């Protein structure tokens, strides 16, 4: 799949400087920093919605709405008091398509939509995603977990980021996991072109591929990031950055590096293993600030 002519560029702080974070006037209010909608969670995995939502706020998004199954919505409202929480109808563990009506009031104001973390029942998820995303064509779309399965049917028609690991990439692309691991650059590049999206293929090295053909590789992750819920925080972080105004590739690149730097900071304070995904968002503001100053980490 890959070739020497398509070697990725190393993703560093100097590369991120090409896509500076949006500047804010002293009197800027929360509306300027964008509105992110997180559609996530299930009765068995409610924490995914919480992790993604907090990460989006820690990325600097100005407004947050969480839409989650009715069975967990009230708990999320108490857990994230900064958010508006919309309860969505569900049946047998999956969201019902008619729940899209409850999102209509947010459609005009949402600048980034994160959908998928912690959602269950693939068929129901795909039907729901296919019904919802046309309402948010003007927003940057961040697809994670089972919501990514929507690309198995058709290419996306709006700015989008997908964040698969090797196993998910194999499932979505029809390749074997061994083939993905053998040539992650080629797998990411071909998927980005086929799906018309920015793809971050997560792993020991993360490959970011743009639909237009750009390729970047980031090698600064740590083993401790391979922990339950870590991907949920990355999806929320990318969504929060997109809500602030970064285009998909830039939001993805900043998110991948800031996420890794947050893990590095926790490694220094806690040790290389054993820190929790819920602790990562607390490190995001300092990580983003350091990167904006051209420093790799704090």
pTM over 0.75? The answer is yes
Question: Does residue 19 form part of some domain?
Answer: no
Task: Classify strands 206-209 and 198-201 as parallel, antiparallel or unpaired.
Answer: antiparallel
Per-residue pLDDT, 5: 47
Query: In terms of Cα–Cα distance, which of 198, 266, 211 is closest to 233?
Result: 266
Question: Does residue 279 form part of some domain?
Answer: yes
Per-residue pLDDT, 30: 74
Per-residue pLDDT, 25: 65
Per-residue pLDDT, 1: 46
Task: Classify strands 9-10 and 215-218 as parallel, antiparallel or unpaired.
Answer: parallel
Per-residue pLDDT, 126: 97
Question: Does residue 13 form part of some domain?
Answer: no
Question: Does residue 234 form part of some domain?
Answer: yes
Q: Which residues contact 29 (CB under 8 A, 6 or more apart)?
A: 62
How many domains, in total, are found in the chain? 1
Phi (first) and psi of residue 80, to 5 degrees: -125, 80
Q: Which domain holds residue 233?
A: 29-292
Question: Does residue 91 form part of some domain?
Answer: yes
Per-residue pLDDT, 195: 97
Q: How many residues does the chain have?
A: 298
Question: Does residue 121 form part of some domain?
Answer: yes
Residues 268 and 38: their CA atoms lie apart, in Å, by 31
Residues 104 and 108: their CA atoms lie apart, in Å, by 8
Question: Does residue 155 form part of some domain?
Answer: yes
Question: Does residue 92 form part of some domain?
Answer: yes
pLDDT averaged per 10 residues, the chain (length 298): 67 93 75 92 97 98 97 97 97 94 95 97 97 96 98 93 97 97 96 97 95 94 91 98 97 98 95 95 96 68
CATH of the domain at 213: 3.40.1190.20
Per-residue pLDDT, 145: 97
């Amino acid at each position: 799949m890959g070739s020497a002519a398509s070697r990725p560029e190393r993703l560093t702080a100097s590369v991120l400087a090409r896509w500076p974070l949006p500047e804010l006037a002293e009197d800027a209010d929360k509306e300027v920093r964008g509105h992110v909608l997180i559609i996530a969670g299930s009765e068995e995995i409610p924490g995914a919605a919480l992790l993604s939502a907090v990460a989006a706020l820690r990325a600097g998004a100005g407004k947050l709405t969480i839409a989650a199954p009715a069975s967990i919505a009230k708990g999320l409202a108490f857990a994230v008091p900064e958010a508006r929480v919309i309860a969505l109808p569900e049946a047998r563990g999956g969201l019902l398509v008619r729940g899209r009506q409850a999102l209509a009031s947010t459609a005009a104001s949402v600048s980034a939509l994160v959908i998928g973390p912690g959602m269950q029942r693939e068929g129901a998820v795909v039907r729901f995603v296919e019904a919802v995303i046309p309402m948010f064509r003007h927003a940057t779309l961040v697809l994670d977990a089972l919501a990514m399965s929507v690309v198995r049917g058709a290419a996306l028609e709006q700015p989008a980021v997908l964040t698969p690991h090797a196993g998910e990439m194999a499932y979505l692309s029809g390749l074997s996991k061994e083939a993905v691991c053998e040539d992650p650059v080629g797998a990411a590049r071909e998927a980005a072109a086929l799906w018309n999206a920015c793809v971050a293929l997560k792993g020991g090295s993360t490959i970011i591929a743009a639909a237009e053909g750009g390729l970047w590789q980031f090698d600064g992750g740590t083993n401790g990031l391979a922990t339950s819920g870590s991907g949920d925080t990355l999806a929320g972080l990318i969504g929060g950055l997109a809500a602030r105004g970064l285009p998909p590739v830039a939001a993805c690149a900043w998110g991948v590096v800031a996420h890794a730097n947050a893990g590095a900071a926790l490694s220094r304070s806690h040790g290389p293993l054993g820190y929790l995904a819920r602790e990562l968002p607390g490190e995001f503001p300092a990580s983003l600030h350091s990167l904006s100053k051209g420093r790799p980490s704090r």
